[in-house]
Structure 1
Amino acid sequence: MTRFDRLDVIIPTLNAGGTLSRTLASLPSGVAVTISDGGSSDATIAIAGAAGCRIIQGDPGRGRQLAAGARAAERPWRLFLHADTLVRSDGWEAIIEHMARPEAKSSAASLRLVIDDTAWQARVIERGVALRVRWLVLPYGDQGLLIHRDLYQAVGGYCDLPLMEDVEIMGRLGRARHVALKGCARTSAVRWRRRGWLGQTVLNLSCLILYRFGVSADRIAGLYGR
């Protein structure tokens, strides 16, 4: 038995071959890994198979894939993690500490975001995300979501959405059932480099505002380019 024998890591993938190897290599011994793939045409499935992951395949859509991964998971705790995100050592320690608390089953937890870039803009965005989590209780999926299966089932799990699935489930969890952990999740800066620091940040904020005003996740996904 290891400290992680109660944890299933669930990773949604779609042509994630460029980042998945590194993410899987960073996982600690003892975790079970479920790859929920949405129809990859690159090396994603081969990488996951070589790493000994449980693989399920279905239609694309991150909410749908996360829900399918949760149905396949067998352990009491689930960590939903993006394929381009690495949990740092302090993050794993925070996860272990959270799971050990008697009251932890009644709350979900997220990690502190770190962007994998040395640019000053990355530090500004990280501070902004920390404030968003503190004020709005709104961590995004690239911060990971740690949740016990009982609570996951009680709130109804992830919805079949192509985007905004993290915002939607946090709306059902609410402030009283969320804990911000001190450990970090380091996520890729590729999307900020591609669209620009300001452009990607404005796009993220626009998607959130549109969703809050009732625009469908399908329309927002079109705007986002997914």
Structure 2
Amino acid sequence: MAGLSVVIPTLEEASRLPLLLADLQRWPGELEVIVSDGGSRDHTRAVAQLAGATVLDSPSVGRGPQLRWGVGHSSHAWVLVLHADSRLPDTWHHKVGAILNRPEAHLSAWCFDFKVEAHGRPMLWLLERMVNLRSRWLQRPYGDQGLLIQRQLYERVGGYRPLALMEDLDLVERLSQVAPLRSLNCALLTSAERWQKRSVLVQAWRNARLRWLWRQGRSTEQLLRLYRR
């Protein structure tokens, strides 16, 4: 089995990170887990180190800079990027392993399907369907869906830019110009926290508005102010 580098950006993720790190232990080949930390003051670093992960102190805070730093320090040909509040499905290692064994796999980038951890909420069910349709037909997956990419393809498009917001959309828009983004055909479970703070419709509208403003050229500072409201 091919080696795999997993890069996880963190900031105060001590309560969520252990479950994801446990999920990663299913990988049957050589595994490198890099936690790119943005200055956590809780036990994030200790949790990661106890699980055998390499902890890096990112020079800048924000998913874009932290991911760029983490991927830049990884060593394997294949890189899997995950958010710390994600949970991998039981079969993830079989799905990813099968992809890595395909001779043409490096010509595409890959993502998981989108699934929210809360159950029994019809609007979340609808959200999942809409996001997955968007990912498959418009080639625009969320960062919550992870990203599996071969290093040469990642470097070809310039990798993550040091953006505090929209780093995922910025990367996949460049990727989609040179390679297809394809589904791994299994779902990555993401935290429902941000969808529970507000109604699903309100949060979806906020996300869409931020994406639109970003495309209009609004500054990162302006977007962050809106994001934090």
TM-score class normalised by the smaller sequence: over 0.9
2:16 to 10, 16, 19: 19
CA distance, structure 1, for counterparts of residue 124 and residue 92 of structure 2: 19
Equivalent residue letter for 1:26: D
CA distance, structure 1, for counterparts of residue 211 and residue 92 of structure 2: 26
Q: Displacement, 1:15?
A: 0.5
Given that residues 90 and 184 in structure 1 are in contact (C-alpha distance below 8 angstroms), is that contact kept between their aligned partners in structure 2?
A: no
Q: TM (normalized to structure 2)?
A: 0.92
Between structures 1 and 2, the one with greater helix share: 1
Decide whether aligned partners of structure 1 residues 98 and 21 sit closer, same or farther in structure 2, where only a CA change above 3 A counts.
Answer: same
Given that residues 139 and 180 in structure 2 are in contact (C-alpha distance below 8 angstroms), is that contact kept between their aligned partners in structure 1?
A: no
Calculate the aligned-residue CA RMSD, in Å: 1.5
Unmatched runs of 5 consecutive residues or more in structure 1: none
Q: Deviation digits for residues 12-69 of structure 1, max 9, x if unmatched?
A: 0001112111111111244210000000011111101111100100221110000000
Aligned to 2:49: 49
2:166 to 164, 167, 182: 164
1:7 aligns to 2:4 (yes or no): yes
Which deviates further from its counterpart, 214-223 or 187-196?
Answer: 214-223
Q: Displacement, 1:70?
A: 0.5
Q: Displacement, 1:197?
A: 1.8
Equivalent residue letter for 2:112: L
1:212 aligns to 2:209 (yes or no): no
The 3-state SS of whatever aligns with 2:15 is helix
Given that residues 8 and 31 in structure 1 are in contact (C-alpha distance below 8 angstroms), is that contact kept between their aligned partners in structure 2?
A: yes
Q: Displacement, 1:114?
A: 0.8
Q: Displacement, 1:7?
A: 0.5
Given that residues 161 and 218 in structure 1 are in contact (C-alpha distance below 8 angstroms), is that contact kept between their aligned partners in structure 2?
A: no
Unmatched runs of 5 consecutive residues or more in structure 2: none
CA distance, structure 2, for counterparts of residue 90 and residue 202 of structure 1: 33
Aligned to 2:204: 201
Q: Displacement, 1:196?
A: 2.6
The 3-state SS of whatever aligns with 1:26 is helix
Q: Displacement, 1:211?
A: 1.5
Q: Displacement, 1:184?
A: 1.1
Q: Displacement, 1:98?
A: 1.3
Aligned to 1:77: 78
CA distance, structure 2, for counterparts of residue 113 and residue 45 of structure 1: 27
Given that residues 17 and 42 in structure 1 are in contact (C-alpha distance below 8 angstroms), is that contact kept between their aligned partners in structure 2?
A: yes
Map 1:31-70; keep pairs closer than 5 Å: 31-58=31-58, 59-70=60-71
Given that residues 68 and 159 in structure 2 are in contact (C-alpha distance below 8 angstroms), is that contact kept between their aligned partners in structure 1?
A: yes
Structure 1 residue runs of 4+, over 6 Å off? none
CA distance, structure 1, for counterparts of residue 91 and residue 20 of structure 2: 16
Identity %: 40
**Equivalenced residues, count:** 223
Which deviates further from its counterpart, 128-137 or 45-54?
Answer: 128-137
Aligned to 2:89: 88
Which deviates further from its counterpart, 127-136 or 185-194?
Answer: 127-136
1:99 aligns to 2:96 (yes or no): no
Q: TM (normalized to structure 1)?
A: 0.93
